[in-house]
Amino acid sequence: MNANTPACPNLPVPTLQLREGALWLEERPLADIAARFGTPTYVYSRAALESAFTAWQEALAGRRALVCYAVKANSNLGILSVFARLGAGFDIVSAGELARVQAAGGRADRIVFSGVGKTAAEMRIALEAGIRCFNVESAAELERLNAVAGELGSTAPIALRVNPDVDPKTHPYISTGLKGNKFGVAFADAFALYQRAAALPNLRVAGIACHIGSQLLDPAPMAEAAQKLLDLVDRLGAAGIALEHIDLGGGLGIRYRDEMPPTVADYLAPLLAVFAGREEELCFEPGRSLVGNAGLLLTRIEYLKPGETKNFAIVDAAMNDLARPALYDAWHEVVAVTPHDGDEQVYEIVGPICESGDFLAHDRSLKVNAGDLLAILSAGAYGMTMSSNYNTRPRAAEVLIDGSEMHEIRRRETVAELFAAERTLA
Ligand SMILES: *Cc1c(COP(=O)(O)O)cnc(C)c1O
C-alpha cells in the first residue's frame, strides 16, 4: 500500500490508516512513536488539524467571519501554533490560556475571553494585551470590568453572553444554554443589561455572544438560538445600540462511535441563512470539532487479567490521562495498533489507578497480547487538557505528526517535577 491508502473507513480519525498490517498516522507507524517517546502519549495529526480548520474557513468564505478556536479543548502550544498560522482567533477562559495563545504566536486582537468567573487581575492582563472582546456573563462582571478598565484608563470591548434557552439535545453536563445553568445572562434581562453597558464610561458595546452546549449533532437548535439573538440585535439597534459582531459559540459535535454529525457546511447553512444580508461579523468558537478527531491516545497493555465475569486489559494510560470515560461515560474507539491473528476476546480496558471508575472502555472485542499497543481514538479534545497527576502519575507526552515527521510538542513530565513546588515541614 502507499501514501494514498484510504483512511480506515470505520475509524473516525481521517488520517489514520491500516498499512502493512499496522496503524499509521499520516506517514508514520504509531509503533515508531511509542518506540521513540514511550507510552502513554497523545498523538495528533497536523493534516487533520488543518483540514478541520479549513473546513470552517471554506464554509464561511465570502462572509465577514472569525473562527476563534476554543483553547480549553486542547491548549498545547504546538496545536495553538498550527491554528495561529492559519489565521485563527482564539476563545480563552483564563489568563493562563491567554499566555499560552501569546506564547504560540496568536494575535491578541483575535482573542475573545469567555467564562463566568473572570478575576480583576485577569481582566487587567487581557486589557493590557488588547484582546478583541470580553464575553461578559453577568451584571456584576459588567460593573467590575468597567471599574478595571477605568483604573487602566482604557476601554473594554464587550459582548454579553446571553442564554437563548434552547435545548441543544446533548449530554446534560455539556448543555449550557438552558435556563437554570450558570452560564450567560437570561435572555429576558439582556436588553436592560445592554442599556446599562452602553451607559458605562469604560465599556464599548461590541457584540453579542451565546454558546448553547457541546457535541451538538443537530443544527436546528443553533439556528433557533441565532434567530433569537438576531431579534435581540434588532431591538437593540432600534434603541441606538449597534452591535458589530455576533458570536455563536462552539459546540459542533464529532463522531466518536456511530454519531452522524453534520459537516461544518451543513451545520452552518441554516445559521448563515438566518444572517443572510446582514452586515455584522460572525464569530464562532469551535473546540472539539477542530481537534477531537485529530488526536489519539497511544497506550501499552501492561497485563491481561482474565476474570470470572470479565477480562481486563490493564493499560499504562488511565483516567488521569483521559478523564472523559470516567467523567461522562464517554465512548472512545479502541483499536489494536498491530492487529494479529488469534481469538478475539472481550475486554474491559482499564488503567492502574486505585478507583473502580478508572476505565477507558467497556466490553471491547480485541485480539491482543500483553505488551501490545492500543490507540484510543478521538482523544484530541478534552483529553490532555483535562488530565491530572492523580496517583502521582506524570502526564503523558504529546507528539504532533506532520507527514513522516514526529514533533514532540510536550515532553513527558518527570516525577521530580510533580512535587517540585512542595515542601516538607522543617
Ligand atoms: C467550551 C466552549 C466552547 C467550545 O466548545 P466545543 O464543544 O468544544 O466546540 C466554545 N465557547 C465557549 C464559551 C465554551 O465554554
Contact (CB, 8 A) for 351 and 359: yes
My answer on whether 331 and 258 are in the same domain is no
CA of 64 to the centre of ligand 1 (A): 21
Contact (CB, 8 A) for 288 and 74: no
Instruction: Return all residues near 118 (Cβ < 8 A) that are at least 6 apart.
Output: 126, 134, 141, 144, 145
My answer on whether 275 and 341 are in the same domain is no
Query: Of 270, 286, 302, which one is at a domain's C-terminal end?
Result: 286
Residue 84 within a domain:
no
Residue 77 within a domain:
no
Return the C-alpha cell found at 42. Answer: 497523545
C-beta of 250 in contact with ligand 1 (< 6 A): yes
Residue 63's CB: how many other CB atoms inside 10 A? 13
Query: Of 262, 286, 310, which one is at a domain's C-terminal end?
Result: 286
Q: Give the count of alpha carbons within 13 A of 262, CB side only.
A: 18
My answer on whether 203 and 296 are in the same domain is no
Closest atom of ligand 1 to CA, residue 285 = 10
Residue of 53, 68, 91 to test ligand 1 pocket, by largest number of atoms within 8 Å of CB: 91
Strands (E), 279-404: 281-284, 295-305, 311-315, 334-336, 345-350, 359-366, 373-376, 397-402
pLDDT value at position 171?
A: 55
Residue 332 within a domain:
yes
Closest atom of ligand 1 to CA, residue 135 = 13
Residue 99 within a domain:
no
My answer on whether 341 and 209 are in the same domain is no
Residue 87 within a domain:
no
Enclosing H/E stretch for 226? helix 220-238
| In the block, residue with C-alpha cell 499497543 | 373
C-beta of 287 in contact with ligand 1 (< 6 A): yes
My answer on whether 301 and 206 are in the same domain is no
Strands 405-410 and 397-402: antiparallel
My answer on whether 297 and 397 are in the same domain is yes
C-beta of 286 in contact with ligand 1 (< 6 A): yes
Closest atom of ligand 1 to CA, residue 286 = 9
C-beta of 219 in contact with ligand 1 (< 6 A): no
Total of domains in the chain: 2
Residue 154 within a domain:
yes
pLDDT value at position 167?
A: 79
The boundaries of the domain holding residue 163 are: 114-286
- Return the amino acid letter for 281: E
Identify the CATH number of the domain in which residue 163 sits: 3.20.20.10
My answer on whether 265 and 140 are in the same domain is yes
C-beta of 72 in contact with ligand 1 (< 6 A): yes
> Annotated binding site: which residue ranges?
251, 285-288, 324, 328, 355, 382
| Residues labelled as active-site residues | 354
What is the separation of C-alpha 268 from the centre of its chain, rounded to a whole number of angstroms?
A: 18
Residue 101 within a domain:
no
Give the closest residue to 68 by CA, choosing from 164, 203, 211: 211
SS3 category, 72: helix
My answer on whether 282 and 305 are in the same domain is no
My answer on whether 378 and 257 are in the same domain is no
My answer on whether 224 and 249 are in the same domain is yes
C-beta of 168 in contact with ligand 1 (< 6 A): no
CA of 303 to the centre of ligand 1 (A): 37
Instruction: Return all residues near 160 (Cβ < 8 A) that are at least 6 apart.
Output: 135, 136, 137, 142, 185, 190, 193, 194, 197, 208, 209
Strands 185-186 and 156-163: parallel
Residue of 161, 211, 217 to test ligand 1 pocket, by largest number of atoms within 8 Å of CB: 211
Q: Give the count of alpha carbons within 13 A of 229, CB side only.
A: 34
My answer on whether 351 and 255 are in the same domain is no
3-state helix, strand, coil in the chain (%, to 5): 30, 25, 45
CA distances from 103 to 79, 88, 99 (A): 12, 15, 6
Identify the bridge partners of residue 247 per DSSP, sorted by sequence position: 209, 283
pLDDT value at position 4?
A: 40
My answer on whether 317 and 410 are in the same domain is yes
CA of 70 to the centre of ligand 1 (A): 6
- Distance CA(411)–CA(420), nearest Å, equals 17
From first to last of its 426 residues, the chain has per-residue pLDDT tens of 333 444 454 677 889 999 989 999 999 999 999 999 999 999 999 999 999 999 999 999 999 999 999 999 999 999 999 999 999 999 999 999 999 999 999 999 999 999 999 999 999 999 999 999 999 999 999 999 999 999 999 999 999 999 998 877 665 555 565 566 778 999 999 999 999 999 999 999 999 999 999 999 999 999 999 999 999 999 999 999 999 999 999 999 999 999 999 999 999 999 999 999 999 999 999 999 999 999 999 999 999 999 889 999 999 999 999 999 999 999 999 999 998 888 899 999 999 998 888 999 999 999 999 999 999 999 999 999 999 999 999 999 999 999 999 999 999 999 999 999 999 998
CA of 137 to the centre of ligand 1 (A): 14
| In the block, residue with C-alpha cell 467523567 | 327
pLDDT value at position 14?
A: 80
Query: Of 239, 264, 286, which one is at a domain's C-terminal end?
Result: 286
Identify the CATH number of the domain in which residue 301 sits: 2.40.37.10
pLDDT value at position 165?
A: 87
Residue of 53, 181, 285, 385 to test ligand 1 pocket, by largest number of atoms within 8 Å of CB: 285
